[in-house]
Structure 1
């Protein structure tokens, strides 16, 4: 077997290299550019790690059903019954089946579609009033919208204060994710810096307390026949005999994952369409043809918008909301010419897979036509993995696509989006692929096809 290429081990276990690159995602991209589609490295939380950007080789890892605990430890504070992101395979399988029975079900999607449409329309109406004025901050506003949508779905109603809930998620994630790859020199050394860290921890505790209170109130209402009874997810968890703490943990992880994924995916899509007006024109023409004078699609209309779906998929290829996934081998694994030892963390660097030039010609170009049925059939099955793969892939993938397609259909039927002059969009790694100073765009009402 060949030796897996990679950098020489750092004395600090890789933390400095990750910090210097601007995050783990950026570091992996650098490694693949330097060493090829399979690379070994070290980092805190995963002493032995291998990153795989070859979609054919990924197939040999698809069965893996364990996640490295250290890598996801920053999420521990969210959970009372144990970190749901790293639950053992035996416990995870029935939990996943339950989640899929709700989140992947068409009847549930159709039942909530009218409320989703109301929420998107409310946002579009607010933007119409501001058209021609100040630029819209897409990621902030669309993340808030997607949180309201998942609250309607998972909680059976609106969050009491969705903007505060979004802010609370950001406070907790920023504090705990920041500890994972703390740059050298950031260790506690007493004095002012120590006080700043204590303040950050206190803000995170308060924010987490707020989130738990919101979810607890809805679960309690459900058990007493209140508004929470409209939640398919909570009802399924209660019917399955899950404990109140596990129900709360499950709802928390659903809100966490869903509010980021949809809002971020739509914001990057609108950003790319703003830079490619010809593609934006094709989407608008398709919407006019399918919807006519209607301002929003019905659920069945989504299947009649293939070009809009291709645009969304191409945007998620270039800017996958979650930059990477990770699994842990429990026994030796053969990966092409390489032997992966048991206990190794295997990384799925989604963007590196999506930009692999052996699979995607001119990989950095925005070409929605890559996702015609004919082109898709020519590629390896795992060449496109924005929602992960295998038994730990995203349970809410189909729901996220329904939400994103609806949001795009409503917004692009009513508006054109233009880049804000002088505003530079800089991707940065957080829990998702974010923009350093948001994505600011001008919203222009459509006056014709």
Structure 2
């Protein structure tokens, strides 16, 4: 039986993706039109099959190869080979090494005080803003997330030469211009992949991208040079673990660069969408702040043990990741034919995990566009397939930093929601767009009002956000 999907087009699918506004939105349309298993065209994938049903995804959970062409836009970032497409035999030990630091409680607990200091510094800066000046959530939170992951990468109590540890106030929303440099490099490579016209002359565009890439590498080199090793076997020291494992200087730099890229995007974007959704749902926001007041008392930031007691905040974060997953998709390469939902997926095909389409599948998420953190209570979660919620991917190539991202996000949310009420800037429209991650076209602009004596933050009615 042939897999359903749109008819092939001469442009290889680039026009359809562009018209939809990116791969996130295109996948939503594909599955609404053709069902849970869809064949479609995409540059870098001769045969592409997208699967939006979590039960059917189980048949693909063992796949351990990523399609090289699809991730080739990341090649220029790395010197020792694209870390997103390492062969399975090379990827497995590298992944185990990352998990020893990124996923373990010792590293999270050791770095929590730094995360709280950085979050509190951001809150102090927002508190000092003139009344009525909006904050740009995604730009600011991506910047502080980058500071967090830089502090984490250093480990061992070292000082960041550019202030990620010693300058907790976040005097700049974009330390060293790294956020902008990542955007320049990735936007250029993605536009080349999808043949998107650029307003710049090719020479100017190539020169700008080369400068941004050189800036990223030199900044990472400074971070690595500032590293001071902790005790042998310290599971909270990423660079130290890489050195101890005998990784080459180039592979260490590539790994730190990949970690900075993935972690700052995921955490900053996830927190901004969570604040956006809570601002549009005051009842849920009140439940979050009541829980924070109960758990934290007079303390401005959580300790590690508190994170497990912030149950409703965690549910709000999970629901936000369901509604607005930062990454657009996961992708794997089949090495043998697969049977999925009565269809045969041939060997050599690219299998897509369309996160947004999976998360909005009404068969598993009733009223899928509604924001309702209660979906993640133990009672409601018990009857749901395990792959119905996959913002960090699945299987042997899922995100190694998922647990760390959750800790960072909860600390940021706890500090900010404990201290402020958030209201959308009047007249500002939030439009999701795909820019490597699920961004907002003109950021998410919010007015922040200190809690404590200021009363509920509702001087004027605002539309509830879906």
The equivalent residue for 1:149 is 148
TM-score (norm 2): 0.91
Contact 2:100/2:235, CA 8 A, preserved across alignment? no
More helix by share: 1
* Count of residue pairs brought into register by the alignment: 437
Contact 2:322/2:391, CA 8 A, preserved across alignment? yes
Contact 2:186/2:436, CA 8 A, preserved across alignment? yes
The equivalent residue for 1:173 is 186
Q: Does 1:29 align with 2:28?
A: yes
1:55-109: CA deviations, max 9, x gaps? 0000110000111111111111100000000010110000000000110011111
The equivalent residue for 1:242 is 247
Change in 2 beyond 3 A, CA 1:443/1:206: same
User: Where in structure 1 do 4 or more consecutive aligned residues deviate above 4 Å?
Assistant: none
Within 2, Cα distance between the matches of 1:359 and 1:150?
A: 34
Contact 1:148/1:159, CA 8 A, preserved across alignment? no
Alpha-carbon shift at residue 223 of structure 1 (Å): 7.6
Contact 2:110/2:236, CA 8 A, preserved across alignment? no
The equivalent residue for 1:407 is 412
Within 1, Cα distance between the matches of 2:133 and 2:180?
A: 22
The equivalent residue for 2:177 is 164
TM-align CA RMSD: 1.7
Within 2, Cα distance between the matches of 1:167 and 1:110?
A: 30
Contact 2:65/2:333, CA 8 A, preserved across alignment? yes
Change in 2 beyond 3 A, CA 1:54/1:230: closer
1:130-181: CA deviations, max 9, x gaps? 1633100000000000000000001344462715111111111111111111
Contact 2:161/2:222, CA 8 A, preserved across alignment? no
Within 1, Cα distance between the matches of 2:412 and 2:130?
A: 18
Within 2, Cα distance between the matches of 1:181 and 1:313?
A: 31
The equivalent residue for 2:382 is 377
Within 1, Cα distance between the matches of 2:130 and 2:91?
A: 47
**Secondary structure of 1:342's aligned partner:** coil
The equivalent residue for 1:133 is 132
Contact 1:144/1:163, CA 8 A, preserved across alignment? no
Within 2, Cα distance between the matches of 1:159 and 1:413?
A: 31
**Unmatched segments (≥5 aa) in structure 2:** 163-173, 456-466
2:365 aligned to which of 342, 360, 367: 360
The equivalent residue for 2:334 is 329
**Matching of residues 163-312 of structure 1 within 5 Å:** 163-183=176-196, 186=197, 196-222=201-227, 232-312=237-317
Change in 2 beyond 3 A, CA 1:18/1:286: same
Contact 2:270/2:325, CA 8 A, preserved across alignment? yes
Contact 1:25/1:323, CA 8 A, preserved across alignment? yes
Contact 1:155/1:215, CA 8 A, preserved across alignment? no
Within 2, Cα distance between the matches of 1:142 and 1:224?
A: 29
Within 2, Cα distance between the matches of 1:231 and 1:379?
A: 34
1:273-332: CA deviations, max 9, x gaps? 010011000000000111111111111101011000000000000000112111110111
Within 2, Cα distance between the matches of 1:382 and 1:441?
A: 33
The equivalent residue for 1:68 is 67
**Unmatched segments (≥5 aa) in structure 1:** 188-192
Alpha-carbon shift at residue 42 of structure 1 (Å): 1.1
1:361-390: CA deviations, max 9, x gaps? 101000000000111111011000010000
TM-score (norm 1): 0.94
Within 1, Cα distance between the matches of 2:321 and 2:229?
A: 41
Alpha-carbon shift at residue 231 of structure 1 (Å): 7.1
The equivalent residue for 1:9 is 8
